[in-house]
Amino acid sequence: MTDLDFGGKKVLVTGGAGFVGSNLTERAARCGARVRVLDDLFTGSLENIDPGVDYDFVEGSVTDEKLVSKLVKEADYVAHLAARNIIVSTKNPRSDYEVNIGGTLNVLMAAREHGIGQIVYTSSASIYGNPRIIPILEDERPHTFSPYSVSKLAGENYCHAFYETYGVPVTSVRYSNVYGPKQDPKNPYCGVIAKFIEAIDADLAPQLHGDGRQTRDFTYVEDAVDATLVALLSPKAEGMVFNIGTGIETAITELVTILTRLLGKNVTPEHIDRRDIDNIRRRVLSIELLRTRLRWQPQIGLEEGLKRTVQWHLGQK
């Protein structure tokens, strides 16, 4: 991981009790940041955050304009991760709009009013839809197939507008299928890897949508967090959009094969109907811009990342 030092600066992490947010909260605190978490605990949990980590917690939503303004005013940096995820957004587009777009606008308005060192807004590779070219570059034309991808792209556009119009120092990063410890399979909104591990460990058939040959760029959470914090601290990141991934394409069937081996099980996947959300055939991101501009590249390969994730899952039992 990159050697980072926040030197006692105050970092506000919205959504800091969620899966990625809690990992980021812990890492920032251990790198010398004075961390404050804002989370409404809709999908997050304070149990995600190591009790040995020193941080302040504020229960509330990014839709609360006055609260956001107060917290941003007191911060040096903001890592804005709070969002309704793709499953919640599909079920309730109104909530998606209010949190993902309205909440982001509240953060940017507060930053414009009070001034701030830097903001990182976490977006998603889902904005690309089915791309024309693989691997996907940041300038690929968006194809928004879900309310979630619409709202994430809208957040990016607001960030760009506030940077260009008001000089707000903001960076957008696009996550690709982040996985790892703290992605609890008991949470109905968790990602596919946690669900696969739970099923395989229980000698149940993991369910694959369609033929299972669709591909994704699976990113270990420590790498995603590391890249996010590098962008948060780097002046070279201001006004930019970066893919955060591995640049490696993995089929869902291959993912299941690795997990079955790591868990020492012998199960056969069950093929079910294709999903009505995130129905993308191929996805792998180019990370050349991140590598050349910020000198960052992932450190944890898929095999090692899955091994660590399986160990965490078994430890929870």
Query: Which of the residues are catalytic?
Result: 148
Cβ count near 50 (within 10 Å): 14
Query: Which residue matches tokens 């995600």?
Result: 48
Cα–Cα distance for residue pair 295/299, rounded to 1 Å: 13
Listed in sequence order, the DSSP H helices in the chain are 19-30, 65-73, 86-91, 93-96, 103-114, 147-166, 192-201, 221-233, 252-263, 288-294, 302-316
Please count the other Cβ atoms lying within 10 Å of the Cβ belonging to residue 306. Answer: 24
Contacts of residue 29, Cβ cutoff 8 Å, sequence gap at least 6: 35, 53, 54, 55
Backbone angles phi, psi at 164, to 5 degrees: -70, -40
Rounded CA-CA distance 206/197 in Å is 8
CB 149 within 8 A of CB 126: yes
Separation of first and last alpha carbons in the chain: 28
* Helix 147-166 with 103-114: angle, nearest 10 deg: 10
Q: How many CB atoms lie under 10 A from the CB of residue 52?
A: 8
